[in-house]
Every structure is written in structure tokens, then in C-alpha cells.
Amino acid sequence: MTRLSDLITDVLAILRAGEHDTSWSSYDSTADAIEELERLQPRVEAGEREAVERFRFLCLPTGAIEEIAVSSGWSGRWLELVNGKYRDTLSPQ
């Protein structure tokens, strides 16, 4: 699950760079999104199925992370990550 963890690291770097519009996501704030991803990351690294499924759910089209990306102006970067660098990472194994 290292690739998924790497994707979490990349998303966290983007989120930590400043405040983002979370109004279309399930989060009340950027800090809430960061907090959940930080909690999920070690569990994803350990291969915990529930955490892996939760992270994949957050990354779905119209999922919380994509909604933040679109409403905050970094949808292009998000697409580069999920369609490029991590193309096969989010697919169910």
C-alpha cells in the first residue's frame, strides 16, 4: 500500500500549502481533511482494508478530495496525480 500512502503524502502537501474551499466536501475545514488523511495514512501503510477503502472513497469522482481540488483551483494537479503518477493506485486490487 506504499503507493496509496505516497498519494496521501502528495495530497497532504497540497492541503498544507494553504486554506482550501471545503464547502462542497464532507469536511468543515482544510484542517479536518488533513486530520483525517493523517489518521488514515499509517493504517493504509499497514494495509488495513477499511482505511484503504475509505481513502479510495475520498478519491472517487465527486469525492471529498476531488471536490476540494475543483473548488480550490487545483483540479489540474489532482488529475495529474490520479491519471498520471498514481493511475493504477486507486483501482481495487
pLDDT tens for 25-43 read: 999 999 999 999 999 999 9
Give tens-digit pLDDT for 49-79.
999 999 999 999 999 999 999 999 999 999 9
Ordered DSSP codes for 22-76: -TTSS-SSHHHHHHHHHHHHHHHHTT-HHHHHHHHHHHSTTSHHHHHHHHHT-HH
How far does the chain reach from its first CA to its final CA, in angstroms?
10
Q: Is 88 helix (H, G, I), strand (E, B) or coil?
A: coil
State the burial class of residue 72 (Cβ atoms within 10 Å of its Cβ: 0-12, 13-18, 19+): buried
pTM (predicted TM-score): 0.92
